[in-house]
Amino acid sequence: MTITKLKNSVFVVFMCMVSRCLSASINESSVELKNCNIYEGKWVYDEAYPLFDSSKCSAIRGQFNCLKYGRPDRQFLKYRWQPNACSLPKFDASDFLARMKGKHIMFVGDSVSENHGQSLICLLNQAGAPSEVVEAVSDLTPNNSVTNVKLEAHGISITLFLSHYLVDIENEKIGRVLKLDSIKDGNTWKQADVLIFNTWLWWYRKGPKQPWDYIDSEGKIVKDMDRMEAFRRGLTTWKNWADSNINPSKTKVFFQGISPMHYNGEEWNAKGVKDCSRETTPLEGSTYPAGEPLALKVLKSVLYRKTPSSLSVPVTLLDITTLSQLRKDGHPTKYNNLGGMDCTHWCLAGVPDTWNQLLYTELLR
């Protein structure tokens, strides 16, 4: 009897020790993750990747569906982002669905935002969360379109809100005017529980692909202006809108960093290379030879400007720029439904899945 009690006591002590160890390990891991710069690291080969099978996700737009349109190599699918100072938690779709139950997630931006949002939909579909897609056109801004995806079983809505500049384009007597000081779609945006914004791709477009004729800034209408300055003013208008309209106790706000293009091989020390068509592996290491793009510096200057904390809404930067710069191999190239060379968007499955893994990590910490 005494021996039995002693054994039971030893077992209880042992279990308590294990429990404390596990608890301590989890706490240490949480502290490590909280203090870790998850955006500094390198790409490592991992046979467990990709995170989903693109052939089983109907949400993927043809422009991003590289395997469907004949991309012959598969190695680009097999890379995992490894931060220098910690390890990213795996994207746990079941946990994500539980955390987001009953909530509304909205991606607002250009087609790179669509790239990002479709990746998330595929990651959740693979976890047994079937989606119903409902498309609608915004009544407020004819240039923008809205796609609503509903995960009915979980009460989750994912909205892809196409807005090339975040600020407005309006049709006036003189023509189409890009209004750097105006945001009219904001009442729709602020209803979401999680907002992920992005803009950059369209700011330097000229000629037939430019969707405006004039710029209206600070009450002055001009035919054109320095595009980086226009970008800064548009971002400032967006940040002022966020500070004035977002309730941080209800809504988490993220801004996607600048998604890079790969049309100039000199940026990654490949002289004479004019596109990404022959790229099949990432760059090694943690730095990109061309460095940080000016657009990212402008974005950071707006996000991190000095404002009284009581007047500023927290915005988390998903700083995906450098890690995406390293992935010259991740673009559709000619393997898309449009037929042209695309070194701007990203294959799905692919790099945007890591953006969502980083989004999930930011929601955890």
User: Catalytic residues, which ones?
Assistant: 111, 342, 345
Give DSSP secondary structure letters for 82-99: EESSS-PPP--HHHHHHH
The counts of H helices and E strands in the chain are: 8, 13
CB 218 within 8 A of CB 210: no
- Alpha helices by DSSP H, the chain: 2-35, 93-99, 111-125, 186-189, 227-245, 294-303, 321-325, 351-364
**What is the distance between the alpha carbons of residues 9 and 13, in angstroms, rounded to a whole number?**
6
Neighbour tally for 363: CB within 10 Å: 15
Please report the beta strands in 154-233, taking only residues with DSSP state E, as ranges in sequence order: 156-162, 168-172, 175-179, 194-197, 214-217, 220-222
CA torsion angle for 352, 353, 359, 362 (degrees, to 10)?
-120
